[in-house]
Structure 1
Amino acid sequence: MEELLLRYIEGKTSVEEDATVEKWMQESEDNRKLMRNVQRISFAAEMAQVASEVDEEEELRLLHSKMDGLKMSGGKRRHAAIGRWMQRVAAVMFIPLLGGWLYLYLTREPKMVPQMMEVKTSPGMTAKVTLPDSTVVVLNSSSVLTYSSLFTGETREVKLSGEAFFSVKKDEKKRFVVHTPHGTSAVVYGTKFNIDAYEGSQEVLTTLVEGKVGFSFPNSGIKKEVVLAPGQKLTYDIGQESIKLAKANVDVETSWKDGRLYFYNTPLEQALRSLGKRYGVEFILRKESLKKNSFTGVFVNQRLDRILEHFSLASGYRFRYIKDKNIDREKQIIEVY
C-alpha cells in the first residue's frame, strides 16, 4: 500500500488505483494519517534532491563575478544581466522558504467536518465496512448502514435497516448504539453480535456472540431494555411488542457473513428466509404443513438452483419460479409446494 500511495502522490496511478486509494483513505483515520506521513516523506525527498542539485555558494560567486565584469558596460545591458542573475539567486533562496511553508501546510492537522456516510448492498450481495473507530461491520443482502465519518460526543451511533454482523471496537468512554427500525436499538461497549432488522419484517432478531448487549424496544408506549448474554438470541415481535429469549446456535446465525449457509435442524420457513436474503428472492409456501419440517446442511458458495435441488431430494418438495406480469415486485418469487 505504501508503494501505491507514493505513485498516487506522484500522479502515476491508473483510474482504478485512484479509486482504490481514495476508498482506503475513507475507511479510517489511521489510513488518512499514514497518507499524510507518506506525503511528508515524498516532499522531503524531493526537496533534498532539489537542494543537492543547487550549489548556493557557486551561484553567489558567479553573480559577484558577473556584476564586477558588468560595471563598465552599458546601463541597459548591466541591468538586464543583473536581473537574470538576481532571479537565479531568488530561486536558490526560495527553495528553503517553499520547503518550510509546505512542511507547515502538510503537517498541520486538518479540521475534519463530519459527513453522513451510507453503504447499501444489492440483493444477493454482502459488503464489509470499517467504521471511523475501527469497528468492522459485515452487511448482508439488501441492507443499508448509515453512520458519521467522525464519531463525536459520548456515543458512537449508526443506523441499520437490514442485517449486519458487528465487531465493535471496545471503548469504555463511548457507547456504541445501533438504531434499527420500529424504534428498536442495541447498546454495546465492545462485543460481537448479529442484528436482523429488515424494514418490512415482522420481527427484529439479535444474536450475541460475545460481550454484552442491551436491546431496547417499545412496549405499550414505554421504552424497555433486555440484556443479552453470550450465546443468546432475542426475537422481538413488532406487532405484539413482545420479547422472546432463547439459546442460539451462533454458527448457524452468523454463517452468512463468511459466505456459508449453515442449517442445523432449522425450520423450513427460517431456512427459506435465509436463502431469500442471500440470493435476493422471495419464497411462498403454498401449504401450512410445510412449516413443520426442518433441514440440516452446509452450503458454501453454491448457486441457488443447486441448493433447491438438494432440498427437493431431501424432502420431495417442489420449487417453481412465478412469472406473472401482474405482480409488481423487485424480488423474484419462488413457490414451494
Structure 2
Amino acid sequence: MVEREEMDNLLLRYYEGETTDDETLLVEEWLVASEENRRVARQIQTIGLAADVAEISSKLDVRKALGGVHRKMRQKKSSRYQVLFRGMQRAAAILFIPVVISWFILYLDKDEQEIQMMEVKTNPGMTASVELPDGTEVTLNSSSRLRYPSRFVGDKREVHLVGEAFFSVVKNDRQFVVGTLNHSEVTVHGTEFNVEAYGEDGVVQTTLASGSVCFSFMSNGRRNQVEMQPGQQVVYDIEQGKVTLKRVNVDVETSWKDGRLIFKNTPFEKVLKSLNKRYNVEFVLKNASLKQNSFTATFTKQRLERILENFRISSNIHFKYVENADINTERQIIEVY
C-alpha cells in the first residue's frame, strides 16, 4: 500500500504530466477507490495549479506546504477548521497565490462566509477538474478559465466560461446558466454537455451529451434561443450572429475530458486543432491540399511524436519542428507539408 506522503508527491507529478505509465495506472486505481481519495486529489491539484500559475520553479516548497496541511488534517476532527486555517496559512505564505486562499474559503461555515468569486484556470496543454458548490462537476480543457461564486444564491446558478469545459450538472429546481462569449448562454436544470468558447476562434460550440439545454445568443441586438436534444451541437458564429444546429458524434467531441483523442472521419484541420490544445503546439499548414484529408483514429497516452509518426506512415504527411530563437515563445511551432 502506498503511504500518504508518497501518494501526495505522486499526485503532484501526475497532475504535472510527469508520471510513468505504471505510476499513472497506480494513481488512477487509487482515485477510483474512494470519494475521500478523490477529494484529497482535488485539493492537491488545486495547490499544484496555483504553483503553476505563479511560475514557482521549485516544487520543494509546494510539497513542504502540502505536507504541513496533511499533518494538521490528521489531528482531531473537532478542531478541523482551526487546523485547516493554520495549515493553509503556511501554504499561502509560501505560495502567495489567491487561488489557494480561495480553495480554503470553501471549507468555512457557509452560513458565516461572504460570497466570493472563485476562478480556476488551466495552463496550455493541461486539463483540470473542479466541483462547484452545488456538486456540479466541471472538467476544464487547455487554456480555459471558469468563474463561479463560492455558493449559489437566488433562483439561478450562474458561472462564466472562456475556453472549453465539460459540465455534469446536478439537477435541482434552480436553473444552471453558463455564460460564454458575446453574451451567449447555455441554460439547463441537470444534464451533461460540452462548451467550447475560445476568444480567438470567434465561435461558441455547445454539444449535448444527455438531457436537454437551451442555447441563447445575440443577433441584430435581439436574443434568440435554440432548444437542443442529445447528440446535437450548436455552432454560434459571433461575427455573423448566426447558429448552425447539427448532429455529431458526442464521444468524438468530448473524448478530451477522458484523456483521449478520437477522430472519426475528422477533417485534418480539426485534427490539428485538437493536437494543438492537447500538446500546446502550433501547426503551420504549408500544403493547402491537406485540408481535404480526413482521419479516423484513437489516441490515448501516446506522445505527440508517436502520433505524428502515425500520420507520416499512413498518409505520407510530414512534420518539421521549427527552431525558434525567441526563448519567450510559448508554443513549439510545427510545419506540416
Q: TM-score, normalised by structure 1?
A: 0.69
Q: SS state of the match for residue 314, structure 1?
A: helix
- For 2:77, the equivalent position in structure 1 comes to 38
- For 1:218, the equivalent position in structure 2 comes to 218
Amino acid at match of 1:187: T
Amino acid at match of 1:211: G
Matching of residue 119 in structure 1 with residue 120 in structure 2: yes
Q: CA deviation at 1:21?
A: 9.4
Q: SS state of the match for residue 206, structure 2?
A: strand
Q: Structure 1 residues 112, 285: CA separation in 2 closer, same or farther (over 3 Å shift)?
A: same
Amino acid at match of 1:162: G
C-alpha distance in 2, partners of 1:109/1:124? 34
- For 1:157, the equivalent position in structure 2 comes to 158
Deviates more, 1:326-335 or 1:247-256: 326-335
Q: SS state of the match for residue 306, structure 1?
A: helix
Q: CA deviation at 1:331?
A: 2.3
- For 2:238, the equivalent position in structure 1 comes to 238
The CA RMSD measured in Å over matched residues stands at 3.0
- For 1:27, the equivalent position in structure 2 comes to none
- What per-residue deviation string (whole Å, max 9, x for no partner) do you get for residues 264-297 of structure 1? 1111001111111111112121232211110111
Q: Structure 1 residues 254, 41: CA separation in 2 closer, same or farther (over 3 Å shift)?
A: closer
Deviates more, 1:301-310 or 1:131-140: 301-310
Q: Structure 1 residues 137, 18: CA separation in 2 closer, same or farther (over 3 Å shift)?
A: farther
Deviates more, 1:229-238 or 1:324-333: 324-333
Amino acid at match of 1:16: L
- What per-residue deviation string (whole Å, max 9, x for no partner) do you get for residues 228-259 of structure 1? 11010111112222111111101101111000
Q: CA deviation at 1:110?
A: 4.4
Which structure's CA Rg is the greater one? 1
Q: Structure 1 residues 294, 113: CA separation in 2 closer, same or farther (over 3 Å shift)?
A: same
- For 1:264, the equivalent position in structure 2 comes to 264
- For 2:201, the equivalent position in structure 1 comes to 201
Q: Structure 1 residues 276, 19: CA separation in 2 closer, same or farther (over 3 Å shift)?
A: farther
- For 1:135, the equivalent position in structure 2 comes to 136
C-alpha distance in 1, partners of 2:301/2:309? 15
Q: CA deviation at 1:323?
A: 3.0
Amino acid at match of 2:281: V
- For 2:148, the equivalent position in structure 1 comes to 147
Count the aligned residue pairs.
Answer: 252
C-alpha distance in 2, partners of 1:286/1:19? 52
Q: CA deviation at 1:15?
A: 3.5
C-alpha distance in 2, partners of 1:42/1:126? 30
Q: Structure 1 residues 19, 209: CA separation in 2 closer, same or farther (over 3 Å shift)?
A: farther
Q: CA deviation at 1:185?
A: 1.4
Q: SS state of the match for residue 317, structure 1?
A: coil
Superposed, 1:65-84 pairs within 5 Å as: none
Superposed, 1:2-81 pairs within 5 Å as: 15-19=65-69, 38-39=77-78
- For 2:299, the equivalent position in structure 1 comes to 299
Q: SS state of the match for residue 200, structure 1?
A: helix
Amino acid at match of 2:66: E
Asked whether the 8 Å contact 1:142–1:280 carries over to 2, the reply is no
Percent identity, aligned pairs only?
50
Amino acid at match of 1:209: A
C-alpha distance in 1, partners of 2:292/2:81? 66
Q: Structure 1 residues 152, 317: CA separation in 2 closer, same or farther (over 3 Å shift)?
A: same
- For 1:91, the equivalent position in structure 2 comes to none
C-alpha distance in 2, partners of 1:335/1:279? 15
The gaps in structure 1 that reach 5 residues or longer are 6-13, 25-34, 44-107
C-alpha distance in 1, partners of 2:129/2:68? 20
Amino acid at match of 1:258: D
Q: CA deviation at 1:168?
A: 0.2
The gaps in structure 2 that reach 5 residues or longer are 1-35, 41-63, 83-108
